[in-house]
């Protein structure tokens, strides 16, 4: 059964236009914003081509590596075909696809963006909060110079075993400092160790209800001009639907609002994958 959004759940026109952009509607989002009021907004999750797709279907699509909010399967395939993916990253993605939770992995396009951001920054010291089987951390580690270091925070030992195997296989294990613990504890211990203001780049992709905590700790650890990138800020489209009010959705929605109002950083919310916000630290904290 098709579900159309009620009038109260309509997103702003520009957002609606961006969500409809795809092969079935080849106009760019900007052009679409002119016609946005002409058609009812239909909620769309990751690659789903059906307006009635629920978040569960989006999760399944993401598990299959077709993870791009608002895009059709066809556009996802095109996007994937235009990503330069290191062969070991590809192997890791294929192994992870069969594992529980594989929809949690960032998309190849997201990983490529993370790698490029670290290179633009000239990053040497990085942190990742939420490693899973290592896809995003491996992409960052591959982009770092030989002297680079990535502190990789993860609480699940079995996931870390997979990640470490692929760090070895890609020849970057010497750049990754794996911390098997609760991420907030690891971040606090880095601060206690005198490492405040010494990191160039951080990527946050763990427990959604802890985002604010991770962000505040990372703001201490990252230097002025450094980046904190937050994943899943669009949360399969749920954040834009006022009828969805589970704890994780509310938490991400509140966190997005906090970032919008936080003068300590510049921000850019990028609708890649499940949405990533790039924060650039502006002041001493």
Ligand X SMILES: C[S@@+](CC[C@H](N)C(=O)[O-])C[C@H]1O[C@@H](n2cnc3c(N)ncnc32)[C@H](O)[C@@H]1O
* Sites of contact with ligand X (CB under 6 A): 104-106, 130-133, 135-136, 153-156, 159, 182-183, 205-207, 210
Rounded to a whole number of angstroms, the minimum distance from the CB of residue 81 to ligand X is 20
Q: Which is nearer to ligand X, 95 or 262 (CB)?
A: 95
* CA 129/CA 71 separation, integer angstroms: 27
Q: Which is nearer to ligand X, 185 or 284 (CB)?
A: 185
Q: Is 260 exposed, middle or buried (0-12, 13-18, 19+ CB in 10 A)?
A: exposed
Rounded to a whole number of angstroms, the minimum distance from the CB of residue 86 to ligand X is 14
Rounded to a whole number of angstroms, the minimum distance from the CB of residue 135 to ligand X is 4
Residue 138 CB partners (closer than 8 Å, separation 6+): 86, 88, 89, 92, 163, 166, 167, 170, 172
Residue closest to 135 by CA, chosen among 72, 71, 205: 205
Q: Which is nearer to ligand X, 155 or 264 (CB)?
A: 155
Q: Which is nearer to ligand X, 17 or 162 (CB)?
A: 162
Residue closest to 251 by CA, chosen among 261, 238, 263: 238
Residue closest to 144 by CA, chosen among 199, 187, 79: 199
Residue 23 CB partners (closer than 8 Å, separation 6+): 72, 74, 75
Q: Which is nearer to ligand X, 106 or 115 (CB)?
A: 106
Task: Find the DSSP H helices in 176-246.
Answer: 183-192, 211-221
Task: For residue 267, count other CB atoms closer than 10 A to its CB.
Answer: 17
Task: For residue 251, count other CB atoms closer than 10 A to its CB.
Answer: 18
Rounded to a whole number of angstroms, the minimum distance from the CB of residue 261 to ligand X is 25
Rounded to a whole number of angstroms, the minimum distance from the CB of residue 156 to ligand X is 4
Rounded to a whole number of angstroms, the minimum distance from the CB of residue 91 to ligand X is 14
Rounded to a whole number of angstroms, the minimum distance from the CB of residue 208 to ligand X is 9
Q: Which is nearer to ligand X, 34 or 56 (CB)?
A: 56
Q: Which is nearer to ligand X, 18 or 102 (CB)?
A: 102
Output the six-digit token pair for 119. 């290179």
In the bound state, the residue with its beta carbon closest to ligand X is 130
The one-character DSSP state at 256 is: H
């Amino acid at each position: 059964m098709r579900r159309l959004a009620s009038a109260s759940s309509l997103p702003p026109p520009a957002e609606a236009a961006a969500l409809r952009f795809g092969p079935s509607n080849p106009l760019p989002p900007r052009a679409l914003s002119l016609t946005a009021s002409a058609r009812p907004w239909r909620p769309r999750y990751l690659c789903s081509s059906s307006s009635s797709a629920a978040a569960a279907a989006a999760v399944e699509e993401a598990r299959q590596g077709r993870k791009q909010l608002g895009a059709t399967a066809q556009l996802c395939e095109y996007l994937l075909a235009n990503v330069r993916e290191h062969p070991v990253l590809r192997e890791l993605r294929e192994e992870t696809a069969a594992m529980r939770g594989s929809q949690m992995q960032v998309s190849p396009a997201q990983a490529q963006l993370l790698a490029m951001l670290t290179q633009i920054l000239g990053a040497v010291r990085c942190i990742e909060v939420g490693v899973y089987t290592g896809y995003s951390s491996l992409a960052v580690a591959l982009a770092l110079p030989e002297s680079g270091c990535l502190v990789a925070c993860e609480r699940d030992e079995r996931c870390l075993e997979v990640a470490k195997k692929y760090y070895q296989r890609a020849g970057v294990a010497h750049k990754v400092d794996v911390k098997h613990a609760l991420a907030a504890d690891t971040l606090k211990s880095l601060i206690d160790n005198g490492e405040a203001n010494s990191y160039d780049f951080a990527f946050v992709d763990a427990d959604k209800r802890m985002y604010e905590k991770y962000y505040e700790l990372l703001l201490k650890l990252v230097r002025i001009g450094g980046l904190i990138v937050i994943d899943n800020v669009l949360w399969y489209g749920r954040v834009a639907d006022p009828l969805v009010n589970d704890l994780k959705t509310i938490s991400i929605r509140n966190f997005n609002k906090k970032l919008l109002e936080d003068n300590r950083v510049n921000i850019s919310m990028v609708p890649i994958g499940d949405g990533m916000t790039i924060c650039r630290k502006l002041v001493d904290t």
